[in-house]
Structure 1
Amino acid sequence: MSDMNEVAPEVQKIVDELFANAHKAASTFSGFEKDKVEAIVKAVAEAAQDKAEFYAEWAVRETGFGNVADKHQKNLLNSIGLLDVLNVGDYVDPQVDDKKKIVSFPKPAGVVVALVPCTNPVTTIYYKALISLMTRNSVILCPHPAAKECCVHAAEYVAKIAERAGAPKGSIQVLTEPSIPLVNQLLQSDRTNVILATGGPAMVRAAYGSGNPAVGVGPGNVACYVDKTADIATAGGQVVFSNSFDHSLPCTCESVVVADKEISSQLKLAMTAAGAYFVAGEEEQKLRDFLFPEGIACVAAIGKSAEWMADKAGFSVPEGTKSLVVEIDEISIKDPVSKEKMFPVLGYITVDGVGQGIATALAMLELMGKGHSAVIHANDPAVVARYGAALPVCRIAVNTPGVVGSAGMTTNLTQGSVIGTGFFGRSSVDDNVGPKQLIQWTRVAYHKEPDVEMGDMGAALKTL
């Protein structure tokens, strides 16, 4: 009988070659100074920008998920857009705290193994490649088989650009024929220094159970409370924009609208004006039968448009409809509308004030999504404070769409689409995952007695 842990020779050969290249590149890369790293990152970001629409179209064609326009925007934000918000020097240059007498040296992790989901494929390739380059790490990208072709092409493209700009060969590698045995070997190998885990719950748990350091994410289930003090017209438009963005594939999209009863009628009008269609009666039953056969979400509907879903369910909606809205009376484990859906269908529930709104959001998070994110529309700081104090999530977007607010695009949260869920969501990170999770610091600390001096540390660092 063969050993269950035995690795096929062809798999082991691929793994060995990947790690040999990656560690050689990481060793060389770790000695690069800021100016050289900046030039590499800039070249890759600009090249990725040039191909952003090309890869958006390819990703939609290959996977059938989402839409080209929104994927194009995501590709831009996660390529050239990163240069506006991330400073390479923060992850490469030593930092001196003269008051505390501590000198901190950033050290790269080494070899990063990065999982890439099929729902957001090329944008994840761009993001994880660039934050690895910024931090002088090498990265092995592991695409989902359903998005293999576009991911491999994009990864090989940015790898070529990086090497042409001066990055060590092997800084960016990709699995050209991804498989579970191969990915498991990479996750579990003691030659992996850190894992960036984005994908389904099974892969994230596998990363955490690998024995290696892992930075993982968790599922969302975004409650959006609209208070009576909100700007209702703005809130209605933002909710529909966010829920329908890339056909609701991002995990930060609103899942259920929790509306104060005093403004519910106005909010429905505002949402309808923005492209929402409230489904009721026979149409609702047809939609539920199609989307949730036996209570389980229809895989074929993932990342599809509202008009596509209505057509498949057997009813018509106005041209330009962006989101389908289903009114519910309660949050229930038996009702899949209460949960994250990954297609542009919104639950809608009416509540009597902020207390009921918080209770409803908490009920949603008990089903799934703890640690992830929530949204609130309110112009009363006391309402915002109550909501923030009560919810076990790591970020709440206020008066802005969740899809961009929780990802730091329209707020001052860390910009990034890899959403850490913290201890609430059984994750190790509560921030949006970025380059700071790919370095650690050696801190050189002097005695704190006032008469102990460091000397001219600035001059000393210039000698390195």
Structure 2
Amino acid sequence: MNTVDPIAEVEAIVARAREAQRAFEKHGSQELYDRAAQAAAWAIMEPERNKHLAQLAVETTGLGNVPDKVTKNHRKTLGLMRDIKDAKTYGIVNDDKEAGITEIARPVGVIGAVVPSTNPGATPANNIINALKCGNAIVVSPSPKGVPTCEALLGFIHAEFDKAGIDCGLVQMIPGRGSKEKTQRLLEISDLIVVTGSQNNVKRAYTSGTPALAVGAGNVVSIVDETADLMAAAKKIKASKTFDNATSCSSENAIVVVDSVYDAFADALAASGDALITDDTKVTSQLWVKGTLNPRVIAQDAEKMIEALGLASEVPKGTEFLAVETKGIGPKHPLSGEKLSRVLSVYRAKDFNDAVAITKKIQTHQGAGHSVGIHSSDEGRPLILAKEIPTSRVIVNQAHTFATGGSFTNGMPFSLSMGCGSWGGNSIDTNLNWRHFMQTTKIVREIPANEPTLDDIFAGYWARSGK
């Protein structure tokens, strides 16, 4: 019986991608790159295919819900296409006469992309579109549960490529259920790695020897202060927390509420569909099993989650998420970390300064560099958070899940991968976007000399400190 060498299989796939990419670049144009990106985008956005991918994702991963995945597939892709519509990614992209530098866009080559089971359609589509827009080929390595959705997505993309006259070798995937061995080889022989998902994969990416764009863990904390519109904040937090059953890394995992509005905000949350649990042991005893998150709870519909936690008789019928009062922060207090479920930890703060201190402590424990939120009408407070918290984003008066990864009502790039800077052990602190999939060659011409004197540089220093 002949067996396929898994390493040779990955090497053959990457070789095929490299061949396709070289031809794509050789015969490239902005129109060709745009057409390829549009083909991949329509492959996931066409309504019937979108619905099929959403249904398949929920059936095979057991995570999230179909209506929200349909929305995510559509809006994330539409927003990305808006972002890249007029972006120059071919030929001369900048010509600075004064500096004497002309920049020419160049593809990176073959992108190796590792994608999670939480978004097995939207995340690879996002990476594929960005890669094609910049003239690259891409090989996707899905999580084992995400394989069927990824296979279906690539089938739809290849069908669109056939219609558009584009080489299907530009977009491929590692076949089968995947393995660490095959993924590791992809990491080693790609020209650039993009990793979204487990922190083990992130660490492997950064130590593979290949340039890597990998993102940190989420554990979003949002502050509700005494100046907030409480009902508006409650509705936004509810919408964000429950979307796709909290599969997003941008879903709130904790809120910190200032004491003077705590009770009023608890009422607003209740009106929005939560049930407040005052004894956190009732949740922790079932949310974690042998130190890991209970799979019967992760990214499940509210009714299933509540049943799995044994709380069906203790919360009102129709409860959409649980708000759990707690105080502890750190490894011995799991409610202070990411929960990937419709469970929201609630901390009471004495005042705004105390709320900042609690938020900083939580972020230092887990989720550093990702993002925090604030619901406030005090325009100066977001700046305080930006200076005090180890975070790359401060989301102001918005539903966090929708705002962090790009929104039609803010200026963040549409993305499903949020860089967390050095705080989160990442090479980027921005949303992963098309600019990360392109490099440039610089033509450098001589210009008139611009050499300062020592006095130009040091006059102020000498005046204060002497020579």
- TM value normalised by structure 2: 0.90
TM-fit CA distance, 1:79 = 2.5
| Alignment match, 2:243 | 245
- Alignment partners' CA distance in 2, 1:383 and 1:205: 34
Residues 40-439 of structure 1 aligned to structure 2 (within 5 Å) = 40-50=36-46, 51-87=49-85, 89-94=87-92, 95-177=94-176, 178-189=178-189, 192-281=190-279, 284-316=280-312, 317-409=315-407, 410-439=409-438
Partner of 1:12: 7
What is the Cα deviation at residue 288 of structure 1? 2.2
Q: Given the superposition, is the C-alpha separation of residues 260 and 286 from structure 1 closer, same or farther in structure 2, using an over 3 Å criterion? A: closer
Unmatched segments (≥5 aa) in structure 2: 451-467
Contact preservation (8 Å) 1:109, 1:137 = yes
Q: State how far apart, in whole Å, the 1-side matches of 2:87 and 2:200 are.
A: 36
Q: Kindly indicate whether the alpha-carbon contact (under 8 Å) linking 1:241 and 1:401 is maintained by their aligned counterparts in 2.
A: yes
Deviation at 1:161, TM superposition (A): 1.4
Partner amino acid for 2:187?
A: L
Counterpart CA distance in 2 for 1:354 and 1:348 is: 15
Q: What does residue 23 of structure 1 align with? A: 18
Q: Secondary structure at the match of 2:406?
A: coil
**Separation of aligned partners in 2, 1:163 and 1:79:** 21
Once the two structures are superposed, residues 226-281 of structure 1 have per-residue CA deviations (whole angstroms, 9 ceiling, x without a partner) of 11111111111111111111111100111111001111112111111111111234
| Corresponding residue for residue 456 of structure 1 | none
Q: Do 1:135 and 1:438's aligned partners in 2 also have CA atoms closer than 8 Å?
A: yes
Alpha-carbon separation, structure 1, partners of 2:186 and 2:330: 39
Separation in structure 1 between the aligned mates of residue 256 and residue 284 of structure 2, nearest angstrom: 20
Q: Distance in 1 between matches of 2:378 and 2:162?
A: 52
Per the TM alignment, residue 374 of structure 1 is displaced from its structure 2 partner at its CA by: 0.6
How far off its partner does 1:164 sit? 3.0
Q: d(CA) in 2 for partners of 1:357 and 1:272?
A: 21
Q: Go from structure 1 to structure 2 and tell me whether the alpha carbon gap of 1:354 and 1:176 turns closer, same or farther (over 3 Å shift).
A: same
Which whole-Å CA distance do the structure 2 matches of 1:96 and 1:422 have between them? 30
Matches of 2:433 and 2:162, distance apart in 1: 22
Instruction: Please state how far the C-alpha of 1:204 moved relative to its aligned partner.
Output: 1.0
Amino acid at match of 1:403: T
Say if 1:117 and 1:143, in contact at 8 Å, map to a contact too. Answer: yes
Task: Give how far 1:183 is off.
Answer: 1.1
1:35 is aligned to 2:31: yes
Question: In the alignment, is the contact (CA less than 8 A) between 1:306 and 1:345 conserved in 2?
Answer: no
Answer whether contact 1:407 1:415 (CA < 8 A) is retained: yes
Change (3 A) 1:247 1:104: same
Offset of residue 163 of structure 1: 4.2
State whether residues 187 and 208 of structure 2, in contact with CA within 8 Å, keep that contact through their aligned partners in structure 1.
yes
CA distance in 2, matches of 1:354, 1:295: 33
Which amino acid counterpart does residue 100 of structure 2 have in structure 1? Answer: K
Aligned equivalents of 2:155, 2:180: Cα separation in 1 = 21
Aligned-partner Cα distance in 1 for 2:43–2:365: 42
Q: Deviations over 1:269-308 (max 9, x none)?
A: 1111111111234xx5443221123553213321112321
Deviation at 1:446, TM superposition (A): 2.3
Rounded Cα–Cα distance in structure 1 between residues aligned with 2:272 and 2:447: 60
Rate the CA distance shift 1:185–1:106 in 2: closer, same or farther, 3 A: same
CA contact (8 A) 1:41 1:162 kept: no
Q: Distance in 2 between matches of 1:156 and 1:313?
A: 39
CA contact (8 A) 2:195 2:205 kept: yes
Aligned mates of 2:224, 2:323 — CA distance in 1: 15
How does the TM-score come out when normalised to structure 1?
0.91
User: Take 1:172 and 1:85, find their aligned partners in 2: how far apart are those partners?
Assistant: 21
Q: CA deviation at 1:77?
A: 2.1
C-alpha separation between the residues in 1 aligned to 2:230 and 2:325? 18
Structure 1 gaps of 5+ residues are: 1-7, 452-464
Q: Deviation per CA, 1:60-113: give whole Å up to 9, x if none.
A: 011110111111111112333322222354222412223433211111110000
Distance (whole Å) between structure 1 residues aligned to residue 168 and residue 119 of structure 2: 26
Is the 1:155–1:172 contact (alpha carbons within 8 Å) kept by the matching residues of 2?
yes
CA shift for structure 1 position 425: 0.7
Q: Which moved more, 1:285-294 or 1:404-413?
A: 285-294
One-letter amino acid matched to 1:298: N
1:314 is paired with a residue whose SS is coil
Larger deviation, residues 286-295 vs 332-341? 286-295
Q: Which amino acid aligns with 2:59?
A: R
Shift of 1:407: 0.9
Q: Bigger shift: 339-348 or 383-392?
A: 383-392
In the aligned structure 2, how far is the partner of 1:156 from the partner of 1:43?
A: 12
- Counterpart-to-counterpart distance in 1, 2:168 and 2:291: 49
Q: What code does the residue aligned with 1:182 have?
A: K
Alignment RMSD: 1.8
Task: Count matched residues.
Answer: 440
Distance 1:83 1:276 in 2: 35
Corresponding residue SS for 1:300? coil
Q: Which amino acid aligns with 2:384?
A: R
Q: What amino acid is the match of 2:7?
A: Q
CA contact (8 A) 2:114 2:141 kept: yes
Equivalent residue letter for 1:432: N
